[in-house]
Chains A and B, each alone.
Chain A
């Protein structure tokens, strides 16, 4: 069975400082991993995706994530936070159950950006 653990429920950073959101996963197979962002009262927007082509994945809005198989981690980073980055972030693992591709979400990390 697959699972995702987001190690911090809340992260607070100052504008212009680096962002680190931590994620560990468990999967029986070689998984696909994603980060999605959810702004208040909005749907989920795809930030980036890992599918074994490269361990360092670049996404939108300056975010990137590094896949570390030995640590079963997929942490999300950004060099410099912007006020518009304040949102809920979800680490997600995709695995196949029969013929279906099922996404399993972490519990989310609420990012606050202070002026």
Chain B
């Protein structure tokens, strides 16, 4: 167990709806990254949050957005859901900063199904 938790475990939405996924980082970690893992593929980087600001983004459209809170927990929001958004969404936490590490520890994921 990494200490990274995600909620909900599973979610079913219909096309066009909006969804919010939540992540609590491991104790002592101040950076959260989000990844999308489609069935049969490796995870793809969505974005990273550090000190409540987005500080890196992968090749995902603006309808994927996020937040990080003062306690370092994070949310991933997806608007106007499309069928291709069906995937496992993984959150990872790490300790950044001058003496930080790039090792990321993953939560169990949220399985999103878009019908």
Contacts and interface: CB of A to CB of B under 8 A. Distances in A.
B41 A43 contact: no
A36 B58 CA distance: 20
A102 B45 contact: yes
Interface of A is mostly: strand
Interface in A55-108: 90, 94, 97-108
- Output the residue of B42, B43, B103 with the most chain A CB within 10 A: B42
A106 B56 CA distance: 20
Interface residues of B, number: 28
Interface residues of A, number: 23
Contacts, number: 65
B94 A101 contact: yes
Nearest to A36: B106
B90 interface: yes
Contact of B56 (A90, A100, A104): A100
A46 B106 CA distance: 8
A101 B42 contact: no
A44 B94 CA distance: 14
A112 to B, nearest CB: 15
Contacts of B55: 98-100
Nearest to B108: A43
Interface string B34-49: 0100000111110010
